[in-house]
Amino acid sequence: MNYDNLIKKVEILVEALPYIQKLYGKTVVIKYGGNAMINDELKNSVMEDITLLKYIGMNPVLVHGGGPDINKALQSFNVKSEFVNGLRVTDAKTIEVAQMVLVGKTNKQIVSMLNHKGGKAIGLCGIDGKLIECEQYKTEIDGELKDIGYVGKITKINSKVLELISKDEYIPVVAPIGVGPDGDSYNINADTVAGEIAAALKAEKLMLLTDVEGVKPSKDSESIIPALTIDDVYDLIDKKVIDGGMIPKVLGCVEALEKGVGRTHIIDGRIPHCILLEIFTYKGIGTMIMKDKQLYHKNEALY
């Protein structure tokens, strides 16, 4: 009998062992978005990954977006979508639809999928228990602040409910709708929500699932940079190696690190089982950003 394939499977488990030991009982915040929310195969792999994290002793917290679902719903209601500086202009009708879709449809679909995989998921949004308190956010255009409606800027994360749920047997699934001082609902960028929740929970990891491989050393490079420090990030921004839509993602990671998160990751959500591949392999598949390059163990390939 040829045992080669079986031995390779065992080697994978052994490679994962030091990470399981290091992360046991720790919080991992995952921002779920992009193609991983559209493709059925990717949906299933993400739910399997998160369920596995819970079963081996970690405390995953999932924060999700839902832009495509919101766009479809707005079209069905004949409401035009407008974006300013990458943010959706959100009038009273738009926030009504966004809340209906994110909380009533997308959130509950994710909860159902996790439960189907054997997890015990609970759906929440920022209104529940005043989990995400916010104020109106105004964006700057030509030196002036522009009112873009019910778009929120987070002022406080009341994380107690997440701590109680995630440290028990449940998986919190959070929709990025916050509540203002007047009781109104506000739409908030899901990356921002994930970063603030990770900081409030002092998470060991913040993982952003994106539609890009990670940070590349140059625009035409086929490789990615496996690990960066905060100083590296600022240096690469100055050199314009990091530009465009990658800038807010890496700066969001930097802010989370400065607020107490252990490690942050930008990974390609288009790869099946991307979460497990990033967490449990020596090199990972994306770009990890840290305060400084400290190894979990000697075999990590961070350089």
Binding residue numbers: 66-67, 88, 187
Cite the annotated binding site for substrate by residue number. Answer: 66-67, 88, 187
**Concatenated DSSP letters of the chain:** ---HHHHHHHHHHHHHHHHHHHHTT-EEEEEE-GGGGT-HHHHHHHHHHHHHHHHTT-EEEEEE--HHHHHHHHHHTT----EETTEE-B-HHHHHHHHHHIIIIIHHHHHHHHHHTT--EEEEETTGGG-EEEEEEEEEETTEEEEEEEEEEEEEE-THHHHHHHTTT-EEEEESEEE-TTS-EEE--HHHHHHHHHHHTT-SEEEEEESS----SSTT-SS--SEEEHHHHHHHHHTTSS-TTHHHHHHHHHHHHHTT-SEEEEEETTSTTHHHHHHHSSS-SSEEEESS---SSTT----
